[in-house]
A and B are shown apart, each in its own frame.
Chain A
Amino acid sequence: MTRPPASPPEAPLPNAPVGEESIENALQRAAADGLPPAADSPGSLEAALEHAAATYQPPAPPSIDAALSKLAAQSGTAGLASAQPVVRAYSLREVAVVLATFAAAMLALDSEGLLTWARRMEVGTAQSVLYAALGPLHRCLDAVGLTAPRRALAVASDAAGRGLGAQEDPLFADAWDLVEVAPYLDAMAEVEPADVASPAPLDWEAPERAATVKTGTRTVLLLGDSLFAGNLAAAITTSFAKEEKFRVVSAYQTATGLSRPDVFDWGRVVGPLLARERPRYVICSFGANDAQPIRQGEQMLGFGEAGWDAVYRARVVAMMRTLAASGTEVLWLDLPPMRDERLTRKVRHLNRLFAAAAKQVPGVERLEVSMLFAGPDGEFATFVNHGGQGLSRMRMDDGIHYAPAGARALAKWVVDWVRERNRRPSRSKRRP
């Protein structure tokens, strides 16, 4: 005969019967609360017991602990985090004081970090409000000297990193880390579109890298955002790996683009980078992060507006001109269709801008990639069938980045382009 399943017990009541507590404890508590402790007098004992019953609070933590360890033993989960005893019981007020002090200290000491955070947000009202609040706060705190600890910590960690051999490429680190944030915000108001992409010369010495490159080696520079970072740069590098004649340099930065030089300024990077690596071929992939509003001085230009298009196209043209200078051959990769339809529409708009810009700059070619990444109906497809060899996964789960097979397919087109250019005589007499 089967037993009916045990009915689940109710949650523990706040006022448990006195039977759970010993009589001595009840009397002691009553005495502590000021009631007469005479144990031999039934009246006072009753009063003490009544009082104890009225004020008894079962200690919740031990019973939960016991129940949980019992259940843990039953279900076999490893020890709970609370298996170690609580070192000190904080009251809620004390916890609140600790966290409130933390919040106040962060606001006082980390205004620079908060301002950087605000700067990297998408351009919009929220960002404007944060700037309006954090900008003046930062200036005040800076005047008082409260921003010094963070700067000191940054300097110390940089020194420690250098000592341990962990050096970020200074070229890129500086483009992320705009130390003088407040003046930059003011300066942005006066900037003309064409100026932003022109490289501001940095006080920076070219390292010995160029000297170690053998003469006759052609450098292929990969420039762009995270579309390279996933698998594409790897696929291109692997294709050229066995060949001494070509050297591939990857110079991509995740989460960057041309819309937001206030977040990462490619304009500052490109000039010195070209001087250092002296590429013969540059493969570019920008735009995946660019479908967002642009702040131009006081104005906020929404994506796709005429003003936005003008500013962005000017930046693209400036970038292309910088890259194609001194005889470098530039291949500008279009953006593939995305799983998200809205994003695909934006991407197509960007591709049209790229096409218009590339027409203006000699030495720049565009590569349309959508055929590789479209299914039979011409729309986005994660898996594509190439010539009856089964479906290959072309895109990652996020519906944006290239999967290994997709990256290999695209890399093949890029490599073919490079080899074909390599067979032709060089465009400029200055190139070796």
Chain B
Amino acid sequence: MLFPTPEYAIFFLAIFAAAWAARRSARAHKGLLLGASYLFYGYWDWRFLPLLIGISLLAALAGQRIQAERRSAARKAILAAAAATCLGALGIFKYLGFGAAAFISLLELVGVHPGPVSLPEIALPVGVSFFVFHAISLMVDAYRGRIPVKVTVLDSLLYVAFFPQLVAGPILRASSFLPQLAAPPDPSSVDVARALELIVVGLVKKVLIASFLATYLVDPAFASPSEHPGLEALLAIYGYAAQIYCDFSGYTDMAIGSALLLGYRFPENFDAPYRATSPQDFWHRWHISLSSWLRDYLFVPLGGSRRGSRRTLINLALTMVLGGLWHGAAWTFVIWGAFQGAGLIVHRLWAASPSSSVKAVRSWVGWPHLARVLTFHFVCLGWVLFRAPSLEGAAELLGSLFQPWQAGPWLTAAALLAIALGILGPDFPSRARGVLRLRFSRLPLSVQGLAFALAVLAIEAAGPQGVAPFIYFQF
């Protein structure tokens, strides 16, 4: 089920009551949360539930075995076999069709015509990329000895399947989440003001800003770029930057808020990404849980930056291309990953450049502001690749940017406001938000509940009639 729906609200309130009521027995508490998570997942499509249970069970047993095993050869073997199985499952469910089609296209390119071939048609399970990554984190963290508690099957199953993060992250680390599961749940650690703030802000971002931008500005422009040339194309690109941030971070906010109400702390996934002053900085602020996962489980094992500068650049490129491919089985995502990798490489060379003119630019007082604008436009260019239905579509939209720039009926205050909120919103000082939270938490309890209800009511009344699908779902 999607977060901004009555079904989820009812489901969550029921689970909240049941889980906290069962807090005295760790097993009952976690068993309830696990059952609820499977219900949450099965609501989409119960046929994929065995896959989720299978992957998490495999990771749990492998993690347990690795932790208990002393011989390093055996530990390595278990890790290799289990990780290969998980990645194999991901490959089959997500990339088989794409890979086979690419292979056949390659064959035809070199002149071999394999004739009519029926590819296996496998449905894509929701969230498979996320829970496979969780499974790998569990096994590798166990191997590296980073998990400070004993790995149990129940905790591991819950870690992989926990419903707030199940379909769209943030990607949790076993090393930081398993200890939370091992400790008894503590109601006094529930920061209600922050949780409600996250849920309301998430709803506003997702239901109001992202849906509006998608329906009125972004989808039409990306669908037929030639009909929306010039300034409209530019606004659509900025609009998409705002939309994807609001959509994804809104969903993550609701996930973090839900988990917080249940007594669990998730890592931040976004940190004002459009404030970044370089591609490297951008990846420290965007989808942080994914970029740090890629760094720790892909970049570092490849050698990271420890094998010389040329090898570092290769590792960067490879990591980003695979990171792009993770987003979807399509060439646009691969190219987007390569584009981001190229940006990281260029930035690294730039920052390490011994040239005096480069150093002069970098020490100029206005450079951080210029760098922020340049990075933002670099990222927007990447978003065109990410969103466009095909490479030709991306080229078409970029081409239509060079048509004459004129105003039109699409240039509304609403669009500009939505884009401004989406891109500059996180610049809102966090100290002011902290003060608001403090004031809110001092209100009488029933007033707090009422205020929350009025906020949700207002968002529902102002929102669109249909539900725009969340972008990151088929990942």
Contact = CB atoms under 8 A, between A and B. Distances in A.
Contact of B226 (A94, A101, A238): A238
Interface in A200-256: 229, 231, 233-234, 237-238, 241-242, 253-255
A390 B104 CA distance: 7
B329 A404 contact: no
A8 B445 CA distance: 41
Nearest to B142: A8
Contacts of A305: none
B20 A96 contact: yes
Nearest to A253: B466
B42 to A, nearest CB: 16
Interface in B154-201: 173, 175-176, 179-180, 182-184, 186-194, 196
Given A9-B149, A388-B113, A397 B329 contact: yes
A370 to B, nearest CB: 15
A78 B271 contact: yes
A165 interface: yes
A95 B187 contact: yes
B445 A94 contact: yes
Interface in B415-458: 415, 417, 434, 437-438, 441-442, 445-446, 448-450, 452-454, 456-458
A92 B190 CA distance: 8
A160 to B, nearest CB: 8
Given A157-B462, A376-B117, A64 B452 contact: no
A150 interface: yes
B176 A75 contact: yes
Contact of A8 (B147, B191, B193): B147
B303 interface: no
A317 B288 CA distance: 54
Given A60-B183, A101-B446, A90 B176 contact: no
Contacts of B226: 238, 241-242
A95 B192 contact: yes
Contacts of B100: 383, 391
Given A81-B267, A166-B216, A391-B105, A385 B116 contact: yes
A168 B288 CA distance: 36
Interface stretch (A39-47, A108-116, A350-358, A359-367): A108-116
Contacts of B245: none
Contacts of A388: 108, 113
A369 B262 CA distance: 50
A60 B187 contact: no
B179 A67 contact: yes
Contacts of B452: 98, 102
Contact of B118 (A68, A95, A106, A376): A376
A30 to B, nearest CB: 23
Nearest to B66: A5
A144 interface: no
A149 B173 contact: no
Contact of B97 (A105, A109, A176, A383): A383
B277 interface: no
A189 interface: no
B194 A393 contact: no
A154 B146 contact: no
A87 B466 contact: no
B121 A382 contact: yes
B224 A238 contact: yes
Nearest to B330: A393
Contacts of B456: 102, 106
A158 B271 CA distance: 32
B190 A105 contact: no
B448 to A, nearest CB: 5
A113 B207 CA distance: 15
A212 to B, nearest CB: 12
Contacts of B101: 383, 390-391, 393
A166 B186 contact: no
B406 interface: no
Contacts of A114: 6
Contact of A254 (B20, B267, B466): B466
B113 A110 contact: no
B280 interface: no
Contacts of B434: 84, 87
Given A76-B295, A390-B104, A60 B148 contact: no
B13 interface: yes
Nearest to A229: B219
B16 interface: yes
Nearest to A12: B183
Interface residues of A, number: 100
Nearest to A389: B108
A177 B261 CA distance: 33
A71 B267 contact: no
Given A96-B20, A101-B450, A238-B224, A77 B121 contact: no
Contacts of A346: none
Contacts of A173: 465
B460 interface: yes
A163 B412 CA distance: 10
Contacts of A12: 183
B389 interface: yes
B119 A101 contact: no
Contacts of A94: 192, 445
Contact of A383 (B119, B188, B448): B119
A91 B20 CA distance: 12
A97 interface: yes
A342 to B, nearest CB: 11
Nearest to B186: A60
A152 B226 CA distance: 40
B220 to A, nearest CB: 8
Given A8-B150, A60-B186, A404-B393, A78 B268 contact: yes
A80 interface: yes
B272 to A, nearest CB: 12
Contacts of A163: 413
A162 to B, nearest CB: 9
Contacts of B194: 81, 84, 87
A390 B17 CA distance: 55
A417 interface: no
B16 A99 contact: yes
A234 B101 CA distance: 24
A9 B149 CA distance: 6
Contacts of A6: 145
Contacts of B361: none
Contact of A68 (B146, B265, B460, B466): B265
Given A97-B445, A381-B119, A391-B119, 9 more contacts: A71-B146, A75-B292, A86-B191, A97-B449, A101-B453, A153-B458, A163-B413, A255-B466, A405-B390
Please give me the 8 A-B residue pairs with the lowest Cβ-Cβ distance, nearest first. Answer: A101-B449, A165-B412, A166-B414, A234-B223, A105-B453, A157-B462, A376-B116, A92-B187
26 contacts: A8-B149, A11-B149, A75-B296, A76-B292, A76-B296, A77-B292, A80-B176, A84-B434, A87-B194, A90-B188, A91-B187, A92-B187, A92-B190, A102-B449, A110-B457, A153-B458, A154-B461, A157-B458, A163-B413, A165-B412, A177-B465, A237-B224, A375-B116, A382-B121, A383-B97, A388-B113
